[in-house]
């Protein structure tokens, strides 16, 4: 009798743990939601690759509970619009938030040819800034760096992704602004949508 009680207790405990692992809260996803979002992200990336107007390598895709966020720097407004349409065409996408920055608009006073012909030094400078911002985000206890995409073009940093709180968004912006060489910060972080 004691053995059956222990087995029943263990089964009930295991069931409770499995259920808890599948349960979501306003700022966390269940295992199923995480898988669904990963599948949507992959499908959106494939749709971007299939689109002749979009340079898919320049677009970061984040998905949270079916809401897709596009981040990064693109060359033209047409490319930005095409990215939105490609993402919207994917079955299961609830909403598309397009935070893509057009390079010629992002850099005040620069023409689009300047942005296309950046020197190797400028590209290295942008990569260095991106790495420094990411390092500082990792070191800060308020921010969860794995939730934040960092892109840099001509010294302008774009932060994208979904974060848990306004405090995390604000802190990430402060950190990016504090990095040497940053000319401006586009803080496109968004609070995780509630289901």
pLDDT grade, residue 189 (50/70/90)? very high
* pLDDT value for 124: 73
Which pLDDT tens digit goes with each residue over 51-96?
A: 999 998 889 999 988 999 999 999 999 999 999 999 999 999 999 9
> Does position 118 have pLDDT exceeding 70, yes or no?
no
Report whether 71 contacts 56 (CB < 8 A).
Answer: no
**Domain ranges (residues) in the chain:** 31-191
Which pLDDT tens digit goes with each residue over 13-44?
A: 445 444 444 455 555 667 666 677 889 999 99
* pLDDT value for 195: 60
Q: What is the number of other CB atoms lying within 10 angstroms of the CB of residue 185?
A: 20
> Does position 8 have pLDDT exceeding 70, yes or no?
no
Q: What is the number of other CB atoms lying within 10 angstroms of the CB of residue 194?
A: 9
Give DSSP secondary structure letters for 160-179.
Answer: EEEES-HHHHHHHHHHHHTS
* pLDDT value for 24: 52
pLDDT grade, residue 193 (50/70/90)? confident
**What are 86-92's contacts with CB under 8 Å, separation 24+?**
86/44, 86/47, 86/48, 86/50, 86/51, 86/54, 87/44, 87/47, 87/48, 87/61, 89/47, 90/40, 90/43, 90/44, 90/47, 91/43, 92/36, 92/39, 92/40, 92/43, 92/66
- For the residues 121-126, what does the mean pLDDT come to? 75
* pLDDT value for 114: 41
> Does position 104 have pLDDT exceeding 90, yes or no?
no
Three-class SS of residue 153? strand
**Can you state the angle between helices 77-88 and 31-50, rounded to 10 degrees?**
130
> Does position 180 have pLDDT exceeding 80, yes or no?
yes
* pLDDT value for 36: 77
Which pLDDT tens digit goes with each residue over 160-178?
A: 999 999 999 999 999 999 9
**Mean pLDDT of all residues in the chain?**
81
Q: In the structure, how many helices (H) and strands (E) does the chain have?
A: 7, 7
């Amino acid at each position: 009798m004691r053995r059956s009680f222990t087995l029943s207790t263990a089964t009930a405990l295991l069931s409770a743990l499995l259920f808890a692992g599948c349960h979501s809260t306003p700022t966390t996803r269940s295992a199923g939601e995480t898988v669904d979002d990963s599948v949507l992200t992959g499908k959106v990336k494939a749709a971007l690759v299939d689109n002749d107007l979009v340079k898919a390598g320049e677009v970061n895709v984040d998905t949270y509970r079916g809401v897709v966020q596009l981040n990064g720097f693109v060359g033209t407004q047409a490319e930005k619009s095409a990215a939105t349409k490609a993402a919207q065409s994917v079955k299961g996408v609830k909403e598309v938030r397009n935070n893509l920055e057009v390079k010629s608009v992002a850099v005040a006073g620069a023409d689009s040819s300047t942005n296309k012909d950046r020197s190797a030094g400028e590209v290295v400078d942008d990569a260095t800034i991106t790495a420094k911002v990411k390092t500082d985000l990792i070191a800060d206890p308020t921010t969860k760096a794995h939730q934040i995409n960092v892109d840099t073009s001509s010294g302008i940093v774009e932060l994208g992704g979904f974060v848990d709180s306004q405090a995390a968004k604000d802190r990430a912006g402060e950190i990016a602004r504090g990095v040497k060489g940053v000319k401006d910060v586009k803080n496109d972080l968004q609070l995780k949508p509630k289901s």
